[in-house]
Each structure stands twice: as C-alpha cells, then as structure tokens.
C-alpha cells in the first residue's frame, strides 16, 4: 500500500485558512465546529513546527565587495 503524501506547509496553511473562514461564517453545526477546531489546532501545530525547522536552517547570504558571498547565521529577535 503506498504511503500517503505528506502535505506541504502551503497546503496546510490553505486548509487552515479554509477552516478559519468556515468557523467565522457562523454557518457550521456545533459538531462541525468541534471537528474543524481540532483539525485547525493540528494544522496550526504542523505549520509552526515547519516554520521553526526552517528558521533554524536559514542563513543570510551577504554579498562581499569583491564578489562572492559570505554566509552568516540568521539571528531572530527574541532568540538568545
């Protein structure tokens, strides 16, 4: 049996936006609200984990005056 393809960050973010729109519309049943809320929390967590992973891998490329680039670690405000 083939493995289910893992959703991308963008796909998860889009689904999360759809859930938010549905919940804000006020047209969902209580049961649907609870199911979508739980799915939204899970999607939000996946998005935050992916952002955190990418943030740790990011480096800033700085162009040198005489050509080429140097790499320096990205410092996020609040990280110590």
pLDDT tens for each residue of 22-70:
999 999 999 999 999 999 999 999 999 999 888 777 766 665 666 677 7
Both tokens of 55, joined, read 């943030």
> Please, are residues 47 and 68 in contact by the beta-carbon 8 Å criterion?
no
Domain boundaries, the chain: 9-73
- Determine the Cα–Cα distance for residues 20 and 22; give it in Å rounded to an integer: 5
- Residue 42, SS3 per DSSP: helix
Q: pLDDT category, 76, cuts 50, 70, 90?
A: low
């Amino acid at each position: 049996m083939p493995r289910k393809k893992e959703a991308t960050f963008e796909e998860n973010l889009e689904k999360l936006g759809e859930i938010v729109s549905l919940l804000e519309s006020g047209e969902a049943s209580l049961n649907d609200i609870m199911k979508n809320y739980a799915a939204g929390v899970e999607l939000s967590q996946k998005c935050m984990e992916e952002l955190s992973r990418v943030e740790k891998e990011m480096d800033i490329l700085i162009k040198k005056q005489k050509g080429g680039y140097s790499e320096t670690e990205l410092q996020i405000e609040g990280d110590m």
